[in-house]
Structure 1
């Protein structure tokens, strides 16, 4: 049986930088779990997350008829994926250096 690697611990700055990826479900399941765990344990971040979620709800209500072209969506997903991969590499390296 293989042991599952420990989830990295994020600080508040990292969580708030990634809250949009979390809200949009644009990060890996593992990263979502790490962010969710932090939000469940950190009142200030949870409060900030709640504010961000409310803003997204309002914007969605007001702008839900607007659609980005598929080409733009594809490019954005590709860039976000690359950013996420680099972020995960840096997180893993940081964990090893501790």
Structure 2
């Protein structure tokens, strides 16, 4: 399995955190996180958010359609964030 770039890792970090990806994919993501400090920092934030949600929901599992909808919205937020980051970098 090829290495992942940062964008791919951050898109899949929820699957990794929730243990919803294959073991091979987990290995590749974990390897990337071990070597990439910006992604590791982002993962730390995501892990903290997941822990808070887990505590609040006390083990209840959201339906797949809710998870998919949340992933789409989070992906859209990430894309907007990337645009702002690119604009800010160009203005430097």
User: Which residue of structure 2 lines up, in the alignment, with residue 36 of structure 1?
Assistant: 30
Structure 2: gaps spanning 5 or more residues: 69-92
Is 1:21 the equivalent of 2:15? Answer: yes
Q: CA deviation at 1:64?
A: 1.2
Q: Which has the higher contact order (CA 8 A, sep 6+)?
A: 1
Please tell me the root mean square deviation across aligned C-alpha atoms, in Å. 2.3
Number of equivalent positions: 68
TM-score by length of 1: 0.61
Q: Residues 59-74 of structure 1: matches in 2 within 5 Å?
A: 59-64=53-58, 66-68=60-62, 72=63
Looking at secondary structure, tell me which structure has more helix per residue.
2
Structure 1: gaps spanning 5 or more residues: 1-6, 80-98
User: Which residue of structure 2 lines up, in the alignment, with residue 4 of structure 1?
Assistant: none
